[in-house]
Amino acid sequence: MVAVLDFGSQYTQLIARRIRELKIYCEIYPYNVSESTLREKNTTAIILSGGPGHITESEITFSPDPEIFNGRYKILGICFGMQVSAKLHGANIVHGEIREYGKTVFYPEKDIIFEGIENRTVVWMSHYDQVENLPENFVSIGRTANCRIAAFKNQQGSVYGFQFHPEVIHTRHGKTMLKNFLYKVAGLKPDWTASSMVEIAKKEIATRIGKSRVVCALSGGVDSSTLSVILHQVAGDRSLAVFVNNGLLRKNEEKEVMEALGDLVNMKYVDASEIFIERLKRVIDPEEKRKIIGRTFIEVFEKEAKSFGADFLAQGTLYPDLIESISVFGGPTSRIKTHHNVGGLPEKMKLKLVEPFKYLFKDEVRKIAKKIGLPEKLIQRHPFPGPGLAVRIIGEIDREKLEILKEVDAIYIDELRKANLYRKIWQAFAVLLPIKSVGIMGDQRTYQYVVALRAVTSTDGMTADWAKIPSNILENISNRIVNEIKAINRVVYDITSKPPATIEWE
Ligand code: XMP
């Protein structure tokens, strides 16, 4: 295993993802994890992240356990990680004359870690402090115009340091450098593949639940679908995937999910749309909608879990959720919306938890999904919020509005697929506005609803840009919507990014 020690860098997760992309298993630890913990975990290599720490002549604000340098491990320090390694080996750290920030030309020496890279390349820098002098037994293996020791290693070749960030894409050969470190310096074999991920997830389920019964909530999203299939492969009829139709789903969604997964999981379909829609009557406030939907979902789900006699609840918690809670500096960022996720079921249910994906990133779950044969359409689906169309109908919800929105959304998505844009977009959907506007059709005055189209590009939903869909395609979509759906006579396109807007309108 590779351990990534988190010194508070904004890139720590990115380092971990890069390592996983290179098919090596890694985990993130707080910067001060003890060497004995790493030894117990069978760690081979350690990467020290960057971070906001500071080193003066007499003090290191964040210091790792010095024992990690006992020679057992191959170590790569990045940015602050390099500086702290240097300091612990007796070097001085100083403020550089100028702050290096952004793309910088880097001249690597000939070294195994730079194999396959030309002798002049571009790296991403973001630092003020730097290593002033080489520690004893260390050699410089690369420089930039303003940083004499931009990369170093010890003579045994067990400790490396980069002042730049190999994990960001702006470092042209960053991935090759990481690959050389993992495969050539540390001698690791790329064996973290979809099959090994499936095996590990299955083992986790089997050992945790034994002969007990396990239930999970199935939303049709890639995480819960993959989870349901794996549970079924391990526990067969002792597993149950509960699919609750809350009446707030997209057009034909329940049919599509049942068709895609009906044969692969032990599924219980519950049509609870009546009670959800009834309880949402006259509710306008988005947070109130979320609360009602969350509570109702739990009620419905709990009943099913009880009647199945479940002892365990399987949740699709992912590694980034876990990292937030273990990170030394992190912790969940302030909540703008109380996202109701079907996973967040209450403790009072007294079910024991099993979380087979808690060490996986989202793209790894997609790889598993592919491996176990989930249909491509389901894997590539845009994210869909737990409260569904309820937060896409601004203001009051009723069945008529739900039907209108379902139809509009279906046309929109259909056209995006035809234009080959669907997969380039993170999320696209329509929003029904609570206002009517005047129009003219066939010489007749109309007074109908306005619909807003939203499409964003993003990598994680935390920030997003509005998608620059070509105007002829937007025109086409608008024409189809107005022609095919009588209740709509006006279509607008949302051109706000996140921030300052959020992706959903409510
Ligand atoms: P916002 O609107 O906060 O959305 O920019 C970011 C991502 O989260 C989804 N979202 C939700 N997901 N329950 C969910 O499970 C919710 O209540 C919820 N609200 C927003 C949104 O679709 C986007 O992908």
Convert the pLDDT of each residue in 423-457 to its tens digit: 999 999 999 999 999 999 988 999 999 999 999 99
Catalytic residue IDs: 79, 165, 167
How close is the Cα of 186 to the center of ligand 1, in Å?
40
- Residue 14: CB partners within 8 Å, gap ≥ 6? 167, 168
The pLDDT score that the predictor gives to residue 221 is 92
Is 149 in contact with 163 (CB distance < 8 Å)?
yes
CA-based angle 80:81:86, to the nearest 5? Answer: 95
- Tens of pLDDT along 342-359? 445 666 778 999 999 999
The rounded mean pLDDT for the chain is 93
Q: Are 58 and 107 in contact (CB under 8 A)?
A: no
455 vs 464: CA distance, rounded Å: 10
Q: How far is residue 395 from each of residues 370, 398, 486, measured CA to CA in Å?
A: 39, 10, 21
430 lies in the same domain as 370? no
Tens of pLDDT, residue by residue over 46-72, are: 999 999 888 988 888 899 999 999 999
Nearest CA to 13 out of 364, 500, 366 is that of 364
pTM, entire model: 0.85
Residue 493: strand, helix, or coil? strand
- Burial (0-12, 13-18, 19+ Cβ within 10 Å), 458: middle
Pairing of strands 26-30, 2-6: parallel
**Alpha-carbon span 362 to 74, nearest angstrom:** 28
Assign 3-class secondary structure to 391-452: HCECCCCCHHHHHHHHHHHHHHHHHHHHCCCHHHCCEEEEEEEEEEEEEEECCEEEEEEEEE
Name the residue among 68, 78, 21 with its Cα closest to residue 45. 68
Q: Does 302 share its domain with 441?
A: no
Domain CATH for 99: 3.40.50.880
N-term to C-term CA, the chain:
43
Question: For ligand 1, atom 4, which residue shows the shortest CA distance?
Answer: 503
CA of 385 to the centre of ligand 1 (A): 5
Residue 392 lies in a domain: no
Of the residues 142, 160, 185, the one at which a domain ends:
185
Q: Is 273 contained in some domain?
A: yes
Q: What is the CATH number of the domain that holds 329?
A: 3.40.50.620
- In this structure, the answer to whether residues 486 and 364 fall within a common structural domain is no
Residue bearing the CA closest to ligand 1, atom 7:
461
Count of the separate structural domains present in the chain:
3
Asked, for residue 257, whether it belongs to a domain, the answer is yes
Q: Strand 151-154 and strand 159-162: pairing?
A: antiparallel
233 CA from centroid of ligand 1 (Å): 30
| 347 plus 372 within the same structural domain | yes
Distance 494 CA to ligand 1 centre (A): 17
Q: Residue 19: pLDDT above 50? A: yes
**Who's near 346: CB < 8 A, 6+ residues apart?**
298
- What pLDDT shows up at residue 341? 47
- pLDDT at residue 459, as a whole number: 83
Atom of ligand 1 nearest to the CA of 336: 3
Give every CB contact of residue 213 below 8 A, 6+ residues apart in sequence. 235, 238, 239, 240, 308, 309, 310, 311, 312
Cβ pair 503, 454 in contact under 8 A: yes
Domain boundary among 379, 409, 437: 379
At residue 493, the pLDDT reads 98
User: At 459, which CATH number?
Assistant: 3.30.300.10
- Could you tell which of 337, 425, 458 is best to mutate to test the pocket of ligand 1, judged by most ligand atoms within 8 Å of the CB? 337
303 and 269 co-located in one domain = yes
Q: Are residues 202 and 161 in the same domain?
A: no
Nearest protein Cα to ligand 1, atom 17: 339
Atom of ligand 1 nearest to the CA of 501: 5
Q: Which residue ranges have their beta carbon within 6 Å of ligand 1?
A: 290, 336-337, 339-341, 383, 385-387, 427, 461, 498, 502-504
Cβ distance 272 to 296 under 8 Å?
A: yes
374-402 pLDDT, tens digit per residue, is: 999 899 999 999 999 999 999 999 999 99
The CA distance from 148 to 142, in Å, is 8
State the pLDDT confidence band at 415, using cuts at 50, 70 and 90.
Answer: very high
> Angle at the Cα of 101 (from 147 to 321), degrees rounded to 5?
115
Residue of 458, 503, 505, 506 to mutate, ligand 1, most atoms within 8 A of C-beta: 503
The last residue of a domain, from among 162, 185, 208: 185
* 399 Cα–ligand 1 center, Å: 22
Asked if 373 and 469 sit in the same domain, the reply is: no
The answer, yes or no, to whether residue 277 has pLDDT greater than 60, is: yes
Same domain? 348 vs 431:
no
- Is residue 323 located within the same domain as residue 413? no
Residue 73 lies in a domain: yes
CA of 287 to the centre of ligand 1 (A): 12
501 within some domain? no
> Which is the closest atom of ligand 1 to the Cα of 462?
6
Q: Ligand 1 center to residue 466 CA distance, Å?
A: 16
For residue range 97-153, list pLDDT tens digits in order: 778 899 999 999 999 999 999 999 999 999 989 999 999 999 999 999 999 999 999
Would residue 154 be called left, alpha or beta, if left means φ above 0 and alpha means ψ between -120 and 50 degrees?
Answer: beta
- Cβ count within 10 A of residue 472: 9
Query: Residue with structure tokens 């050699």?
Result: 139
Q: Which atom of ligand 1 is nearest to the CA of 387?
A: 17
Residue closest via CA to ligand 1's atom 16 equals 339
At 95, the pLDDT band (50, 70, 90 cuts) reads confident
Q: Which residue range(s) make up the domain with 370?
A: 194-379
Compute the distance from residue 334 Cα to the ligand 1 centre, in Å: 14
In a domain, 506, yes or no: no
Q: Are residues 158 and 175 in the same domain?
A: yes
User: Of all protein residues, whose CA lies closest to atom 3 belonging to ligand 1?
Assistant: 502
Specify the residue with its C-alpha closest to ligand 1, atom 22: 385
Give the nearest ligand 1 atom to 429 CA.
22
> Which tops the pLDDT comparison, 476 or 55?
476
Closest residue CA from atom 6 of ligand 1: 461
Q: Are residues 258 and 337 in the same domain?
A: yes
Given the CA of residue 502, which atom of ligand 1 is nearest to it?
5
C-alpha–C-alpha distance, residues 167 and 189, integer Å: 20
Is residue 86 located within the same domain as residue 117?
Answer: yes
Summarised one tens digit per residue, pLDDT across range 293-345 is 999 999 999 999 999 999 999 999 888 877 765 555 543 333 444 554 444 56
